[in-house]
Amino acid sequence: MSVLNFFLFCLFFVFGTVCSAGNHGSIGVNYGRIADNLPQPSRVVELLKSNGITRVKIFDAESSVLSALANSNISVTVCMPNGLLSSAANDQSFTDSWLNSNIVPFYPQTMIEAIAVGNEVFVDPPITPYLVPAMKNMYASLRKLKFSSDIKVSSPVALSALQSSYPPSSGSFNSELIEPVIKPMLTFLQRTGSYLMVNSYPFFAYEANTDTISLDFALLRPNEGLKDSANGNVYMSLFEAQLDAVFAALDALNFNDIKVVVSETGWPSAGGDTEFGAGVDNAAAYNGNLVRRVLTGGGTPLRPNDKLNVFLFALFNENQKGGPVSERNYGLFYPDTKKVYDIPLSLDALNGTMSNPTDKSKAKVPVASPPVNQGPSTKGRTWCVANVQAGQEKLQSALDYACGEGGADCRQIQSGGRCFHPDTLEAHASYAFNSYYQKMLRSGGTCYFGGAAYVVTQLPSKFVCM
């Protein structure tokens, strides 16, 4: 049976137990806490255990959370926030102190398996030079404590670190990052036996390219697949295509022995008017089908023997997050611990679901046309806006390029369009620049326009039409 047929067989096998390639992956969950209505950590731990979740990732090293996770048999990835990277890079005594305050009091009763040094650091260029030195100091401090063989050091990378991603076999890292940071980081991961963390969000690629990406392909539902013309590999999901673009980028730099963990992926259950594809049914389909894909075993076309290890984003809807509506609606659970939608989150639950196939996330839809021109995006927290300091002449010239040769969709900022108001050069240029930036899948260098634009990670309210 071919790999493709095996996957399809597993996807539609609904009686008995889960198909197995003898290589089950793992499902974890990101436990974010930017909210004022979440349950106490002790109750969260019970929620994780009752749903068979054995791996969790948090975005700091909060003591109350780490204490609650003690003796729970749940593996934990903690994070050093981006704001601490410069201190961590400049002085190993800082990482010594950080570990003594945030790890030593809890380990090993709390099963800390990894420390994420920063998060999507490349999106914030000023702190990028600090990343590898901070990782090295963290590892050196772990060695002093004799923890380095059990606690890995890594850092989540957004897919915007890729310069090329389509077809997947052409995957390559941003050339401007390779020598100063990508190669040193990969060399560190290789030397320490760690893995690369990657944040992958097919939702954002679909949202920005609904005319060319099949929703079925994005949601891991039945579809005709996408053939990579360079090597003949067939992709049945955007998730796998994005992941193989990362593997191809690693292979291109001769780091094909480095493993990859998907540190974030998910789909929002609600979104704003322009957040196409957001919704409960689609979120259930994406996360439910991804769990099945991971737990049925096997890897991607480029790395068929590698396990898929994935952390879903996120455990709860977080009501205090900024940005678009979707940012507050990635949760698998509401703050009262009720499920937003019902999907299996463990192998035991998946076996039960497949022997009683009533899960609505198992889509039964017609086969779709193969998608084209899709590729990875960033975490989805970046937009391209006009730099008013560039002056009106440069803004107008860049606007003309974006709407003309650049191919941005500028229909909505024409007279009568829904984004015509406010009728200002800054607003219209920002809309056009962002349209081009999203069209180019947020690739490095596509939000510059000769200095007329720049990337933001929190969309200003005056640009809400974007």
Which residues are designated catalytic? 120, 264
In this structure, are residues 218 and 209 in contact, taking their beta carbons and an 8 Å threshold?
Answer: no
Helix (H, G, I), strand (E, B) or coil at 226: strand
In this structure, are residues 394 and 433 in contact, taking their beta carbons and an 8 Å threshold?
Answer: no
Alpha-carbon distance of 330 to 266, in angstroms, equals 7
385: exposed, middle or buried (Cβ count in 10 Å: 0-12, 13-18, 19+) = buried
In this structure, are strands 172-173 and 260-265 parallel, antiparallel, or unpaired?
Answer: unpaired
Nearest to 242, CA basis, from 208, 202, 203: 202
30: left (phi over 0), alpha (psi -120 to 50) or beta: beta
Nearest to 250, CA basis, from 343, 157, 172, 321: 172
Nearest to 99, CA basis, from 88, 109, 89: 88
382: exposed, middle or buried (Cβ count in 10 Å: 0-12, 13-18, 19+) = buried
Which residues have C-beta within 8 Å of that of residue 416, sequence separation ≥ 6?
none
In this structure, are residues 37 and 29 in contact, taking their beta carbons and an 8 Å threshold?
Answer: no
Q: Is the dihedral of CA 419, 330, 262, 220 positive or negative?
A: negative
Which residues have C-beta within 8 Å of that of residue 49, sequence separation ≥ 6?
72, 74
Q: Tokens 């974890």 belong to which residue?
A: 28
Nearest to 196, CA basis, from 173, 224, 226, 167: 173
Centre a 10 Å sphere on the Cβ of residue 163 and count the other Cβ atoms it contains: 18
> CA distances (Å), 88 to each of 12, 79, 135, in order?
49, 13, 8
Alpha-carbon distance of 137 to 382, in angstroms, equals 29
Centre a 10 Å sphere on the Cβ of residue 316 and count the other Cβ atoms it contains: 26
Amino acid (one-letter) located at 339: K
